[in-house]
Structures are given as structure tokens and as C-alpha cells.
Amino acid sequence: MVHLRIVAPSWEAQQVVDLLQRVDSAVNLIHVPGAARKPDGDLILVDVAREDASVILSDLKELNIHRCGSIAIESSETHISDFVEEVEKKAPGDPGDAVVWEEVEASTSESSRLTGSFVTFMVLAALIATIGILQDSEILIVGAMVVGPEFGPIAGFSVALVERRVKLALTSLLALAVGLPAAITGAWILTLLMKATGIAPDTFTEQDHGLAVLISEPDELSALVAAFAGAAGVLSLTTAKSGALIGVLISVTTIPAAANIGLSVAYEDWSTWRGSQAQLAINVFSILAAGVLTLWLQRLLYRRRRIRHLHDEAREAAGLPVGRSRRAGA
């Protein structure tokens, strides 16, 4: 279930209550007139089945509640109530597969922003990967993959393409455009420092560093793994299966490839440099393509559900048109 806390002006609140009373997937409806301040209005609390959360939120946006009031969304995992069980049965589909698009937009917008912490994590992940490559250590490479936050902007750009959100697309691109070069530069500087202090060897041979060779020699399997990981990553962000994201992070070699680029420059190994660049490009493109395709299919299913809901009589009770949306472009 998804819990909604709605603040609506008194002249709109009754329409919201009428809508939620008629919707089969809503339960635990509470209306407290005049209880809200900043903005002033009525307080409305309700639990809705996760499968219909975005559909109902779209109705609330048609009533302009997000402009003249506010809507807060919270996940509510545990309910001890026969009423709730009945409501969940009425909502078609499975809660574990349902997508609350407003949550997706909020989470991707937050993880896609260029911040100091984002760049720091990118650089730290690349530094760990650099040491892992030098030591030929799978454990350090995996650790670097988990630390790296690069999947956030890639997922954000995927959402932006599917929903045609220019601002989110630019924000995501900026984060990648700054984060990846910062990671590469960090790996380059660390390698130079370790060479100067004798921590790293003066030469870097393929015979002693098999992981570096693996990273710098991408093939068709690299693209497939990245594509599968991109689809799994998007599913973990959009559904209730967020635990799968860790597996996604350790399935692709984005951060190791960035670290290998910086390391190969420090050793003037231009063959490895070119191969690592290709690996990085293949990973980013494959993750992005798979993410966009996955989101497009999920969005298509949501639109079909939304179109069916437009014919629900509950909309008429709230003063909304039946069979069409009053929102432009909906």
C-alpha cells in the first residue's frame, strides 16, 4: 500500500474526498477540515493500493492539488486489516510489480544531480579500482563497482528520455560529464603518485595484470551483460525489488574502465587506453539503451491502465471528465 497525505483547499477538498470514496483501491480515508496550515486547507489521509497509486495521483494532479495544496507519498508495507486485504485484491496486478512513477521521478532526480558527494564517490571508486587493477584483485574491483554512483545519472537520463523531461536529461548528462572525467583524472594522478613513490611498478605488463586486459578488451558479451544489468537496474528502481541494484552495480565495468583509462595514460599504454574507452562507451550505451526500453514498456502498461481508469465513474463524482483527461497532453 501507498499512504497519501493530502493538503487541499476547502473548495477542492470535497472533490478529492468524493474521488477517493468511489475508488475501489482506496481505504482508510480520513478527512479533517481546516486542519492544515502553510498552506491552509483540509487534511486528507488515505491508503491506496500500490498498483493504482500513480493513476490516483494523476487524478489529483488534474484537480491541481499539487499547485494549490500538497501531496506527500509514503510507502506503507504492513497493514493488519481485512479491509486492506480486500482493497489489494480488487486492484489488478501484483504490488511487487507496480510502478509508482512519482517515486521513480523523485528518486532519479535526486540521484542524478551533480553534487560534491557524487563527484567524491566517483573519484573514490576509481581510486579503489586503480589499486585493484594494479594488484589484480577481483575483490577491490567489485568493491569499486559498488561504491561508484554512476548508475544514478544513467537511470535519470533513461527516465528523462521516456518522459521527455529536458531538465532531468541535462542534469543527468552534466553529472556524467563531470563525474567520469573526475574519476579518470583521479586514477591518473594516483597512478603517477604511486609510480613516483615506488609503490607502483615502473612498467605495467599484461602478463601480471589479467584484469586490466579483461577490462580493455570489450566484446559482444560486454554489451550483453551491460544491457541485462541496465534492465535489471531499472526494474530494481521502479519496483519494490531494490535489493537487486547491488547485483547490477557489480555486473558492469563502468568504474573499472574509467580507472583503467587513467592508469593507462600514466603508463602511456595507448592500446589499453583505447580499449578501456571502448569498454566505458559500450557499458554506458548498453545500460542506457536497455534502461530506456524497460522504462518504455513499463510506461506503456501504465498508460493502458490510466486509459481504463479514465472511464471510472469515480472521476465523475470528483467533477473530472469521464473518458478523457483535462490535463493537456495527458
Shared domain check, 131 and 58: no
Q: Are residues 204 and 220 in the same domain?
A: yes
User: Is 115 found in the same domain as 84?
Assistant: no
Per-residue model confidence (pLDDT) at position 330: 44
> Is residue 293, in this structure, part of any structural domain at all?
yes
- Residue 248 CA to residue 154 CA, distance in Å, equals 13
pLDDT in tens, the chain (330 residues): 899 999 999 888 999 999 999 888 899 999 999 999 988 999 999 999 888 899 999 999 999 999 999 999 998 777 888 888 888 777 777 777 788 888 888 888 888 899 999 999 999 999 999 999 998 888 999 899 889 899 889 999 999 999 999 999 999 999 999 999 999 999 999 999 999 998 888 887 766 667 777 888 888 888 998 899 889 888 888 876 655 566 666 667 899 999 999 999 999 988 889 999 999 999 999 999 999 999 999 999 899 888 888 888 888 888 888 888 876 444
Q: Are 110 and 79 contained in the same domain?
A: no
- 139, HSE (Cβ side, Cα atoms, 13 Å): 1
How many structural domains is the chain composed of? 2
For position 237, what pLDDT does the model report? 83
For residues 260 and 283, is the Cβ–Cβ distance under 8 A? no
Q: How many CB atoms neighbour CB 37 within 10 A?
A: 9
Domain boundary among 78, 97, 116: 97
Can you tell me whether residue 249 is helix, strand or coil? helix
48's grid cell: 491506496
What is the rounded distance in angstroms from the CA atom of residue 180 to the CA atom of residue 191? Answer: 17
Q: Are residues 294 and 159 in contact, defined by beta-carbon separation less than 8 angstroms? A: no
Whether residues 80 and 155 fall in one domain: no
Print the domain residue range for 33: 2-97
Asked if residue 129 and residue 242 are part of one domain, the reply reads: yes
Q: Output the pTM of the full model.
A: 0.84
Residue type, 31: H
61-92 exposure pattern, b = at least 16 Cβ within 10 A, e = fewer: bbbebeeebebebeeeeebeeeebeebbeebe
Query: Any idea what the CATH number is for the domain that residue 67 is in?
Result: 3.30.70.120
Given 97, 132, 167, the domain boundary residue is 97
pLDDT given for residue 328 in this prediction: 47
Q: Please tell me whether residue 217 adopts helix, strand or coil conformation.
A: coil
Q: Does 155 lie in the same domain as 79? A: no
DSSP summary character for residue 218: -
